Amino acid sequence: MSTRLADKKPAIPTHVAVIMDGNGRWARERGLPRLAGHRAGAEAVARCVRAAMQRGVAYLTLYAFSSENWARGQEEVSDLTGLLRYYLRHKVRELHKEGVRLRFIGDLARFDDSLREELAQAESLTRGNSKLTLILALSYGGRLDIVQAAQRLAQEAKNGRIAPEQITESVFTNFLWTSGVPDPDVVVRTSGECRLSNFLLWQSAYAELVFLNVFWPDFNERHFAMVLDQYAQRERRFGARPQGPA
């Protein structure tokens, strides 16, 4: 049995990934505009980040804006990007002081030049931090991630820098937007929906899945603790047979 399988699983996952779902339904139930739900969701992000740091999680990836979100109404897209811009301008330095490193993954080229510059500045400012790596998936899709990695690898092969038979899983992983980041140990989705919705498809191959029946704006430290409790109770086998009597 490999060392990876033999080692006892730590109680605290190294990497937690979250599909933050339910902002719109949360707002609708309260007779509020969708933007109110997104703003309340941003406050839940702050609680989630705080809980991750308190519990010793090293990586936290949040599905903030999917590639499919571009198909929403122009007003909502503008609200979402405006909210992102606001937090880049008003919250990044606070995160920097707390030792959080920011990283952004996805098809960032779809954002305007000024927003991309602010994203780059946030990454540059926080690059040396190590308390928590906070990864925001923006204009992100799991299938798109795999396709762009395949395209880049194909170009490498075309240019003679790699032979097709040299392409392994580990090589392929290095061409994903999450290169250098360990795969998530647990993927969480709020709102009661039970699907991945095109999020970290390659990276989540062996992740534990936790589905919570709570809208994202209501997510708090107690819910984060529930996720960690569920994770600690599961046995991760990475496709191997369970040990002991059948």
Task: Write the pLDDT tens digit of every residue in 126-177.
Answer: 999 999 999 999 999 999 999 999 999 999 999 999 999 999 999 999 999 9
Q: Catalytic residue at 229?
A: no
Of the candidates 7, 69, 112, 174, the residue annotated as catalytic is 69
Q: Is 177 annotated as a binding residue?
A: no
Measure CA 29 to chain center.
Answer: 27
11-145+183-233 belongs to CATH 3.10.20.600? no
29 is in an annotated binding site: no
Instruction: Tell me if residue 69 is catalytic.
Output: yes
Closest CA to 233 of 212, 208, 213: 208
Q: Band of the pLDDT at 4, cuts 50, 70, 90?
A: very low
Distance CA 226, CA 26 (A): 21
Cα–Cα distance between 239 and 236 in angstroms, integer?
A: 8
CA distance 148 to 134: 22
pTM: 0.91
Catalytic residue among 7, 21, 112, 183: 21
Has 21 been labeled as part of a binding site? yes
Please say whether the beta carbons of 222 and 90 come within 8 A: no
Residue 220, Ramachandran bin (φ over 0: left; ψ between -120 and 50: alpha; else beta)? beta
pLDDT tens by residue, 182-234: 999 999 999 999 999 999 999 999 999 999 999 999 999 999 999 999 999 98
| 2 assigned ligand-binding residue | no
Q: Please state the separation of Cα 200 from the chain's center in Å.
A: 8
What distance lies between CA 150 and its chain's CA centroid?
21
